[in-house]
Structure 1
Amino acid sequence: MEEFKKQYRALIDLSLTSVGKDALLKKCEAFTDEVIKRDILPEHIVEIHKDYITLLDLEQNQILESLVVLEEIVKGFGYSYRDYQQMVDRLQYHDKEMDLASRLQQTMLKTDIPQFDSIQIGVISVAAQKVSGDYFNLIDHKDGTMSFAVADVIGKGIPAALAMSMIKFGMDSYGHSQLPSDGLKRLNRVVEKNVNQNMFVTMFYGLYEEMNHLLYCSSAGHEPGYIYRAETQTFEEIDVRGRVLGVSQQTRYQQQEIPIFLDDLVIIFTDGVTEVRNEEGEFINKDQLLDMIHKYKHMHPQDIVQLLYEAILKIQNPKKRDDLTILIIKRVN
């Protein structure tokens, strides 16, 4: 602070000499930047000024000349405050837009959980910020089949929300069950034509057939899913692979057919789950997540996903949060 006082007093001394006003104002401008960086209050500047001119015992005309320095510094505070206020106004406007986008997303992407006799469904999807880049959809086709999808937009904010809405409309508009490989092929065309070229979408697309208890599934660059086998108490990775949506209209998708037995679980994540970091910044081992699921395997899937989410919150670094979605389907008697 003493060094700061010396610099300010030097400006007052300079104002009392025959130095040109332009040169003085330039030095005052540079000093003002330093004042704002150091977060020094205007009243401190006034106090320093008063003390120094009292010490110098100046005449009235000299006091008036010294006030040029104080005037320039105070002007700088005024400019800084106006810039700050404009930034606050922009942030408030942005927050209102994000609130609106969040409400629209919740309304447009709302999905009812279908009810079946032989399967139970649990799902949780939590946004890291107001607008989520994750998405899930469940469609009961009323013919003993259910389509489902879990997706993640590589992008954030309102554009991501709009992309998700487009994908949901694409899925819902089919009106009938279709194989996942065909579903991804159609959605890929929608994304490629209508979504920003720098925004891509990963998706796991499944069709569950209740009569034969078969799972048909395809993936567009999404995190691998898992099957928990109740008989052997082991997890199998669903190794179906494919290119992310939106890269090329000519992309075709592989499809896998998997039998689901009594008490088996179908588990689908987004990378907000598989790439969780702890307080030390280290990734949580995927086996830890699967062990948690194994621990709660006897419970309803909705309870499993809720307990898994709560466990993740306890070990997750809050500064490294991402959108998170977990879907579990369980075959029951």
Structure 2
Amino acid sequence: MEKTKLSMYRSYRKLLHNYLGSNREEALHCARQWSKKMIDQDMSPEEMVSLHVAVFKELVAELPMETIDSFDLLLEVMNGYGRAHREHLNLRDRQRQLDAELEIAARMQKSLLQENKLNVKGVDFGVISVPAGIMSGDYYHYDIDDHGHIGVAVADVIGKGIPAAMCMSMIKYAMDMLPAQRLRPGTILQNLNRVVARNIDDDMFITMTYGSYNPECHHFCFASAGHEPGFIYSANTDMFHDMETKGIVLGVSPNVAYQEYTISLRHKGDFIVLLSDGVTETRINGQFLERNHIIQLIRKYIHLPAQTIVEQVHSEMEKIQGFQRNDDFTLMILRRNV
């Protein structure tokens, strides 16, 4: 340690001597290089000032008392600055560690969401889910049960950040624990509601729409727990309609029944749109985007495959917001294709 200090002293003495002499331009260049040494040696600002004072006193034999006194004042200032600087570095290191941990958690959370394609004859399916921050409070689900029916869901935790992401993970595992045989959408929401009511704080709630599509008869049965209404598109009339439902959000009370609704995708090209409120709460000049605007965007790309539609709609909405996301964004389309 003493050898290092002596080496730094001699190095800075040579640097300052050159600067006070005639070779100032070269000395300034060396000073920039020397500052990197300071960082490598973890040298604090007050230690640098002390080194400068010691070297300067050696190089200049007679210094005015005012100059010496000014060094004392500067050293005192640098002591305070040095403490603040070290606290800043400590906080920066802690933030970097937290960011690294969040990045790992985000990758783990992403791995919970399905990415495999839904390959069912006569069905065109697409979904996109993009978090507003590192982690998401949105959840989506799709699978095929033992009867060949397609189960789909979109859920949204009321809240943001890590608590919302943890709730999303809980919903994922609760869905995985459901029996493989076909359950009615209302029954699924009842089961999930009991899990949520037992396991999350009173000030947190989850909204969700769950539906089951029978590709044989083209019926779509669904239930909602206070979730953002989706859309139904009729290819025959070229019209969009809201999926009006009733149902209390998950987690308010453990004993809640959820009403079921059934619609029919009567014609080829009919489709269902499920979404989170991050889609409808997109802002333009401080105002929420109207649902008709969302319909117009979907209609713009309606001739494309479902996955391309959801991706293009998301891309358009990002541009609308100036690439500033305020909420998690999830959009899902299930279309009859035969």
Residues 105-151 of structure 1 deviation map (CA, whole Å, 9 limit, x = unaligned)? 12223343322112110111111222111110101114121111101
2:85 aligned partner: 81
How far has the Cα of 1:248 moved from its partner? 1.0
1:131 aligned partner: 135
Residues 143-176 of structure 1 deviation map (CA, whole Å, 9 limit, x = unaligned)? 1211111011122333322222221222222212
The aligned amino acid for 1:146 is I
2:249 aligned partner: 244
After the TM superposition, which residues 272-283 of structure 1 pair with which residues of structure 2 at under 5 Å, given as runs?
272-278=278-284, 280-283=285-288
Q: 1:299 to 1:69 in 2, by over 3 A?
A: same
Q: 1:320 to 1:304 in 2, by over 3 A?
A: closer
After the TM superposition, which residues 67-78 of structure 1 pair with which residues of structure 2 at under 5 Å, given as runs?
67-78=71-82
Kept in 2: contact 1:218–1:256 (CA 8 A): yes
Distance 1:109 1:320 in 2: 20
In structure 2, which of residues 183, 188, 209 is the aligned counterpart of residue 183 of structure 1? 188
The aligned amino acid for 2:150 is M
Distance 1:323 1:288 in 2: 18
1:170 aligned partner: 174
Q: 1:144 to 1:166 in 2, by over 3 A?
A: same
2:97 aligned partner: 93
How far has the Cα of 1:310 moved from its partner? 1.4
Distance 1:82 1:127 in 2: 34
Is residue 2:200 matched to residue 1:205? no
2:258 aligned partner: 253
After the TM superposition, which residues 141-156 of structure 1 pair with which residues of structure 2 at under 5 Å, given as runs?
141-156=145-160
The aligned amino acid for 1:88 is R
How far has the Cα of 1:216 moved from its partner? 0.8
The DSSP-based 3-state class of the residue aligned with 2:324 is helix
What is the CA RMSD across the aligned residues, in angstroms? 2.2
How far has the Cα of 1:301 moved from its partner? 0.7
In structure 1, which of residues 271, 277, 285 is the aligned counterpart of residue 277 of structure 2? 271
Distance 2:74 2:168 in 1: 56
Structure 1, gaps ≥5 residues long: 1-40, 47-57
Kept in 2: contact 1:270–1:326 (CA 8 A): yes
Q: 1:74 to 1:187 in 2, by over 3 A?
A: same
Aligned residues: 279
The DSSP-based 3-state class of the residue aligned with 1:318 is coil
2:200 aligned partner: 195
Kept in 2: contact 1:123–1:302 (CA 8 A): yes
How far has the Cα of 1:72 moved from its partner? 2.1
Residues 178-211 of structure 1 deviation map (CA, whole Å, 9 limit, x = unaligned)? 1111111110111111223332111111111122
How far has the Cα of 1:68 moved from its partner? 4.0
Distance 1:301 1:241 in 2: 27
TM-score (norm 1): 0.78
The DSSP-based 3-state class of the residue aligned with 1:319 is coil
Distance 1:258 1:242 in 2: 17
Distance 1:59 1:111 in 2: 75
Distance 2:147 2:325 in 1: 42
How far has the Cα of 1:312 moved from its partner? 1.0
Distance 1:63 1:154 in 2: 63
The DSSP-based 3-state class of the residue aligned with 2:119 is coil
Kept in 1: contact 2:146–2:182 (CA 8 A): no
TM-score (norm 2): 0.77
The aligned amino acid for 1:265 is F
The aligned amino acid for 2:130 is V
In structure 2, which of residues 284, 288, 296 is the aligned counterpart of residue 291 of structure 1? 296
Residues 237-281 of structure 1 deviation map (CA, whole Å, 9 limit, x = unaligned)? 111121111111022211111111221110011111111112x22
2:221 aligned partner: 216
Distance 2:228 2:271 in 1: 17
How far has the Cα of 1:77 moved from its partner? 0.8
After the TM superposition, which residues 32-111 of structure 1 pair with which residues of structure 2 at under 5 Å, given as runs?
60=65, 63-111=67-115
Distance 2:244 2:274 in 1: 12
